[in-house]
C-alpha cells in the first residue's frame, strides 16, 4: 500500500507529458492517491484525459478551470463536492506571464498589464484555490502545494516579472500556512530547478538557464519531473505532517552555489 492511500487530491496544471504536474500525478497515483484534475481549456482536455486513463484515475473527475475566473474555480469545487465528501490535497502547478514579459531587460519589458496578469495567474490563484477549496479541506490533515522558482529570491535574466510573481507566491504560501494551520491544512512550495516544459519554453534564453544549472549544481545535472513529483508526494502526505510554510528546493543543489568557475 502506498503512503498516500486513502488521500484525495486535486491537481491543477497538467498541460503535457512534460508538465511538472504530470510528474506529481504519477508519484501520487503510485502511492495510492485518488486524483481529480483540472484543465485550462478544451485544447488540453484530451491530454489530461489520457493521463488520467494511464494512471487508472476516474475520468469523471476532470474539470475545466481557467484560474483567472472565480466562477470557474467555484464550479470545480461545486462539481467535486458532488463526487467526493472531502479533499485532502490541492496542487497548484500554474504559471503564466505574457511572452514579451519574459525576454530582454526587466525595465524594458515590464508593463502594468504584464505585472497584473502574471501576479493574477501565477500567485493570486493559489489564494483563490485555498479560499474555494477550504470547506472541503478543513479538519482533514490536508495539504496544499505550489511550484516556485529561485528567481523569487535572486535576479535571473529574462525571468523578469515572473520573479516578482514567484516572490508573491512564496509569501502567499507563508500567509496561507499561518492562516490555515489551525484548520489542519499545511501549505508548502517546491522550488524546482530548470526543467524543459511548455511554460519554460516561453522564457528567453531558457536553454542557457538549463546549461548553467547543469554546471552550477553540485549534482552536475538538472532535475526531472519525477524527482519533483516524489518530493511533492512526500510533502502532501502525512509523512510531512510537521512541515508547513516551507519552500523546499528540488534543484540538484544549484541554489546553494554562489558561483561556478566553469566557463565551458
Ligand atoms: N519548468 C521549470 O523550469 C520550472 C521551474 C520552477 C518552477 N516551475 C513552475 O512549475 C509550474 C508548472 O509549470 P511547468 O514548467 O510544468 O509548465 P507547463 O506549461 O507544463 O505547466 C504550466 C501550467 O499552467 C497552466 N496555466 C497557465 N495559465 C493558466 C490559467 N489562466 N488557468 C489555468 N491554468 C493555467 C497551463 O495550462 C499549464 O498546465 C509553474 O508554476 C512554473 O512556474 C517551472
Domain annotation covers residue 243:
yes
Can 150 be counted among the known catalytic residues? no
pLDDT digits (tens, 9 = 90+) for 12-26: 999 999 999 999 999
| Ligand 1 midpoint to CA 224 (Å) | 15
Q: Is 67 in the pocket of ligand 1 (CB under 6 A)?
A: yes
| Ligand 1 midpoint to CA 148 (Å) | 10
- What's the pLDDT score for residue 261? 86
Nearest one of 29, 24, 22, 21 to 3, comparing CA atoms? 29
pTM: 0.98
Q: Is 130 in the pocket of ligand 1 (CB under 6 A)?
A: no
Domain annotation covers residue 68:
yes
Q: How many CA atoms lie within 13 A of 20 on its CB side?
A: 29
Can 124 be counted among the known catalytic residues? no
Average pLDDT for runs of 10 along the chain of length 264: 97 98 98 98 98 98 98 98 98 98 97 98 98 96 98 97 98 99 98 96 92 94 98 99 98 95 71
Nearest CA to ligand 1 atom 20: 19
- What's the pLDDT score for residue 47? 98
Domain annotation covers residue 263:
no
| Ligand 1 midpoint to CA 13 (Å) | 6
Domain CATH code at residue 193: 3.40.50.720
How far apart CA 21 and CA 234 sit, in angstroms, is 15
Q: Is 169 in the pocket of ligand 1 (CB under 6 A)?
A: no
Show the domain range for 40: 8-256
- What's the pLDDT score for residue 264? 56
| Residue to mutate (ligand 1; options 18, 25, 94; most atoms within 8 A of CB) | 94
C-alpha cell at 179: 492562516
- What's the pLDDT score for residue 263? 66
DSSP string, the chain: --TTTT-EEEEE---STT-HHHHHHHHHHHTT-EEEEEESSHHHHHHHHHHHHHTT--TT-EEE--TT-HHHHHHHHHHHHHH-S---EEEE------GGGGSS-HHHH--HHHHHHHHIIIIIHHHHHHHHHHHHHTTS-EEEEEEE-GGGTS--TTTTHHHHHHHHHHHHHHHHHHHHGGGTEEEEEEEEPP---HHHHTSTTHHHHHHHHHHHSTTSS---HHHHHHHHHHHHSGGGTT--S-EEEESTTGGG-S------
- What's the pLDDT score for residue 262? 76
Domain annotation covers residue 196:
yes
Q: Is 14 in the pocket of ligand 1 (CB under 6 A)?
A: yes
Return the CA Rg of the chain: 18
Domain annotation covers residue 262:
no
Q: Give the total number of structural domains in the chain.
A: 1
Domain annotation covers residue 1:
no
| Residue to mutate (ligand 1; options 11, 15, 16; most atoms within 8 A of CB) | 15
Q: How far is CA 214 from CA 158, 167, 205, 236, 255, in A?
A: 18, 24, 15, 28, 12
Amino acid at each position: 500500500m502506498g503512503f498516500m492511500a486513502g488521500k484525495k487530491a486535486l491537481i491543477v496544471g497538467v498541460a503535457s507529458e512534460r508538465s511538472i504536474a504530470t510528474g506529481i500525478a504519477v508519484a501520487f497515483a503510485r502511492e495510492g492517491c485518488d486524483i481529480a484534475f483540472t484543465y485550462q481549456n478544451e485544447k488540453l482536455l484530451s491530454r489530461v484525459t489520457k493521463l488520467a486513463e494511464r494512471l487508472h484515475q476516474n475520468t469523471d473527475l476532470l474539470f475545466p478551470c481557467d484560474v483567472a475566473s472565480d466562477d470557474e474555480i467555484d464550479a470545480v469545487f461545486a462539481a467535486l463536492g458532488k463526487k467526493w465528501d472531502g479533499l485532502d490535497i490541492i496542487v497548484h502547478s500554474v504559471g503564466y506571464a505574457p511572452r514579451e514579459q519574459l525576454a530582454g531587460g526587466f525595465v524594458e519589458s515590464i508593463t502594468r498589464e504584464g505585472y497584473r496578469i502574471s501576479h493574477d495567474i501565477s500567485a493570486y490563484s493559489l489564494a483563490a484555490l485555498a479560499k474555494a477549496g477550504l470547506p472541503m479541506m478543513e479538519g482533514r490533515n490536508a495539504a496544499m502545494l505550489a511550484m516556485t522558482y529561485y528567481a523569487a529570491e535572486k535576479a535571473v535574466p529574462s525571468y523578469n516579472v515572473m520573479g516578482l510573481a514567484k516572490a508573491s507566491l512564496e509569501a502567499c504560501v507563508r500567509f496561507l500556512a499561518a492562516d490555515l494551520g489551525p484548520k489542519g491544512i499545511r501549505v508548502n512550495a517546491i522550488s524546482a530547478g530548470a526543467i524543459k516544459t511548455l511554460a519554460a519554453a516561453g522564457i528567453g534564453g531558457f536553454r542557457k538557464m538549463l546549461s548553467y544549472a547543469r554546471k552550477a549544481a553540485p549534482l552536475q545535472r538538472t532535475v526531472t519531473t519525477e524527482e519533483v513529483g516524489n518530493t511533492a508526494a512526500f510533502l502532501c502526505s502525512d509523512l510531512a505532517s510537521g512541515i508547513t510554510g516551507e519552500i523546499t528546493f528540488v534543484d540538484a543543489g544549484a541554489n546553494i552555489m554562489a558561483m561556478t568557475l566553469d566557463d565551458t
